[in-house]
């Protein structure tokens, strides 16, 4: 009696390739019920979608610009692994004020910058979002009221998701 040929072990299906969502290209929604990351309108400050910005004389291709005191809420709507950006004060500012940047996920602050001002080099941001559902990008004024920063940049701002 011939020995049966063993069936080859099937190869596991590889995970889907990660998808990158540029923040300046995200859809806006009132409740965050889409299939990909979306800016939640009701809980977000004014956002300027940018294709070209400059921090400390360094140009960046894309990102978002916000006012000096702001908060932008993003509903992830799918499993995401990281948030990345470089942050700083936009070169359009005429004042010397300073701001700090923070990234919150599900209400917990996961990253915070030092105070940065006009002319300071951009600060890199890398945040692990594994298991998180909502991200809030926060900018807070630092210093004197009469030197408030008008524009703060989240350059090269993007979410990597599965």
pLDDT in tens, 69-96: 899 999 999 999 999 999 999 999 877 7
Check whether 149 has a pLDDT greater than 70: yes
Bridge-based pairing state of the strands 70-75 and 134-142: antiparallel
Q: Which fold has domain 19-161?
A: Jelly Rolls (2.60.120)
| Reported confidence tier of residue 31, pLDDT bands at 50, 70, 90 | low
- Residue 37: which region, alpha, beta or left (left: phi > 0; alpha: psi -120 to 50)? beta
| Reported confidence tier of residue 158, pLDDT bands at 50, 70, 90 | very high
Structure tokens at 72: 């932008």
Please list, in sequence order, all residues whose beta carbon lies within 8 angstroms of the beta carbon of residue 29, skipping any fewer than 6 positions away: 38, 39, 40, 41, 75
- Please tell me which residue, 148 or 73, carries the higher pLDDT value: 73
Q: Where are the domains of the chain?
A: 19-161
Q: Under DSSP, is residue 80 helix (H, G, I), strand (E, B) or coil?
A: strand
């Amino acid at each position: 009696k011939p020995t049966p040929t063993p069936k080859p072990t099937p190869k596991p299906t590889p995970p889907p390739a990660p998808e990158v969502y540029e923040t300046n290209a995200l859809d806006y929604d009132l409740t965050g019920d889409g299939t990909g990351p979306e800016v939640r309108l009701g809980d977000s400050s004014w956002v300027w979608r940018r294709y070209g910005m400059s921090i400390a004389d360094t140009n960046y291709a894309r990102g978002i610009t916000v006012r000096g005191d702001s908060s932008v809420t993003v509903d992830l709507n799918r499993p995401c692994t990281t948030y990345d950006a470089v942050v700083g004060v936009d070169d359009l500012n005429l004042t010397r004020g300073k701001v700090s940047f923070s990234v919150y996920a599900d209400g917990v602050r996961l990253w915070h910058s030092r105070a940065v001002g006009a002319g300071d080099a951009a600060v890199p941001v890398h945040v692990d979002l594994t298991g998180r559902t909502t991200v809030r990008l926060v900018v807070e004024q630092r210093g004197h009221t009469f030197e408030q920063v008008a524009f703060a940049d989240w350059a090269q701002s993007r979410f990597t998701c599965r």
